[in-house]
Structure formats: structure tokens, C-alpha cells
């Protein structure tokens, strides 16, 4: 379980995991699902907001169907069709405990951008999540908040800057560590991790290392990672 292990998490210990932030949540969601399934666990993939359906995973809209599909396939989507051809969840993810060994929930939206600052009503993290993983795309570095961040005004206000400023490693670390940023909604006692995605070049690896050190100084474990193009959105795994 390469990604689980690199994050310092274990699916049996953290069977309800939520992903927030921007820069690759859906890809990470399916990577974690694949690894847990390969370890012999059943996995329900769902959302507390909305998510694009995976073209090759079967969809369950009720608990009975989910139970049946997981016996056949180990991994299944749980949701119902919603606006914009995306899925919404008819039940809170915590209601799926016991139906699957692992429940993975995409709990935030970023409109495909590498950074995200949550609005007042966001993210929608399950109240009893065992772990929260906040993502940020390193391709945000050196670009203005307006160009690369969902809710740039919120991010700029939180960080004491303005949306026209370029994003620095210190900005990303401050956003991810803030209880009004990446940590917002993380339940007391839940594991919290950061995934610094798109570490695709030596320069981004170096800058990502700075972010990781800044987070480590606050007791937050962060992982530098890169998904190759064929893995993005998990289309090659199922």
C-alpha cells in the first residue's frame, strides 16, 4: 500500500477517510481505493459534495445494492446522479461504516484548481472521520492566487495578502496548517495529513520540500507526490 504507507496511515485503523483541498483529490481517492482493494479490503467511494462518476466502477444508490456490489467487485461507488452529470451521496458516509471495510469520501470541491480556501459552509468532512488528507498542487507556486486558487479572495484574506500576489511555499504551508484552511472541519482526534501533489520537476520538489519542512515544524506530516498523466482521475486502475 504505497500511498497509504507514505501518508503514515493504515486503512484498518482509518476506515473512514476524507479528502479536501485541491490539486488531485479524485486521483488520490482512487489510488487509495485501489491499494486498499489490493490488500483484500472492500471499499466504498463516495462524496459529501459531488464527484464525477468513474466510467468503469459500478454505482450503488442504496445500502443493499452497495453490499451486493462489494461482494462482487471489492470497490464500488456510492451515490446518485446530481447536477452537471456528477454524483451526490444520498446518505452520510458514516452510514456506510460496516457495509465496507473502508469508506473514502471526497469532501471538498476546487473546480480543478491546485489550491482551495474553504468558504463558511466548506469542507463537508464527516463528523467521525478517522483521517483527513488535505491536498495542494505544487503547480500553484509562482502563479497568482486569482489564477490558481478556488476562492482566491478567501485565501488572500486568511493569509493577509491579496489575490494578485504570487503563491509562495510559505503561503501553501500557512493555508494547509490553518484551522480556517486545510484543517477546517477535521474532527478532534482524527489523523491529519497533507499531500503535496504534482512534484513533477526538480524545482517543484525543492519548493515542496520547503513546504514539508514548514508543516513538520507545526507537527503536520506532509508527503511529496506525483501521479503520472495516465493515473490521473484513476481511469487506468479499474
Q: How far apart are the first and last CA of the chain?
A: 16
- pLDDT tens digits along 137-184: 999 999 999 999 999 999 999 999 999 999 999 999 999 999 999 999
Q: What is the pLDDT of residues 15-46, one digit of tens each?
A: 999 999 999 999 999 999 999 999 999 999 99
How far CA 234 is from CA of 2, 22, 33, 40, 75, in Å, comes to 15, 16, 10, 19, 13
Q: Are 107 and 123 in contact (CB under 8 A)?
A: yes
DSSP string spanning 30-77? Answer: HHHHHHHHHTT--EEEEESS-BPPPTTS-EESSHHHHHHHHHHHSEEE
**pLDDT value at position 83?**
86
pTM for the complete prediction? 0.97
Structure confidence by residue, pLDDT tens digits, 123-132: 999 999 999 9
> What pLDDT is recorded for position 84?
85
CA distance 231 to 113: 18
Domains identified in the chain and CATH numbers: 12-229 (3.40.50)
Contact by Cβ (8 Å): 104, 33: yes
The pLDDT confidence band at residue 227, using thresholds 50, 70 and 90, is very high
Most distant pair of Cα atoms in the chain: their distance: 51
Please determine, for residue 235, whether its predicted confidence score (pLDDT) is greater than 90: no
The dihedral built from the CA positions of residue 138, 161, 211 and 195, taken in this order, carries a sign that is: negative
d(CA 58, CA 77): 6
State the chain's mean pLDDT as an integer.
96
Amino acid at each position: 500500500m504505497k500511498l497509504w504507507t507514505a501518508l503514515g496511515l493504515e486503512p484498518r485503523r482509518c476506515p473512514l477517510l476524507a479528502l479536501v483541498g485541491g490539486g488531485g483529490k479524485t486521483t488520490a481517492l482512487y489510488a487509495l481505493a485501489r491499494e486498499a482493494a489490493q490488500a483484500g479490503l472492500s471499499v466504498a467511494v463516495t462524496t459529501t459534495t459531488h464527484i464525477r462518476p468513474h466510467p468503469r466502477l459500478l454505482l450503488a444508490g442504496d445500502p443493499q445494492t452497495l453490499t451486493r456490489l462489494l461482494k462482487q467487485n471489492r470497490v464500488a461507488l456510492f451515490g446518485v446522479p446530481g447536477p452537471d452529470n456528477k454524483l451526490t451521496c444520498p446518505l452520510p458516509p458514516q452510514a456506510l461504516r460496516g457495509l465496507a471495510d473502508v469508506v473514502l469520501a471526497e469532501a471538498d470541491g476546487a473546480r480543478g484548481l491546485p489550491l482551495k480556501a474553504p468558504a463558511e459552509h466548506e469542507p463537508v468532512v464527516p463528523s467521525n472521520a478517522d483521517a483527513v488528507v488535505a491536498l495542494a498542487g505544487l503547480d500553484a507556486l509562482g502563479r497568482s492566487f486569482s489564477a490558481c486558487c478556488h476562492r482566491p479572495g478567501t485565501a488572500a484574506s486568511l493569509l493577509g495578502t491579496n489575490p494578485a500576489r504570487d503563491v509562495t511555499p510559505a503561503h501553501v504551508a500557512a493555508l494547509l496548517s490553518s484551522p480556517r484552511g486545510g484543517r477546517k472541519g477535521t474532527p478532534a482526534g482524527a489523523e491529519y495529513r497533507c499531500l503535496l501533489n504534482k512534484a513533477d520537476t526538480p524545482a517543484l520538489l525543492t519548493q515542496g520540500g520547503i513546504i514539508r519542512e514548514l508543516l513538520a515544524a507545526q507537527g503536520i506530516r506532509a508527503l511529496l507526490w506525483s501521479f503520472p498523466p495516465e493515473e490521473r482521475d484513476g481511469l487506468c486502475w479499474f
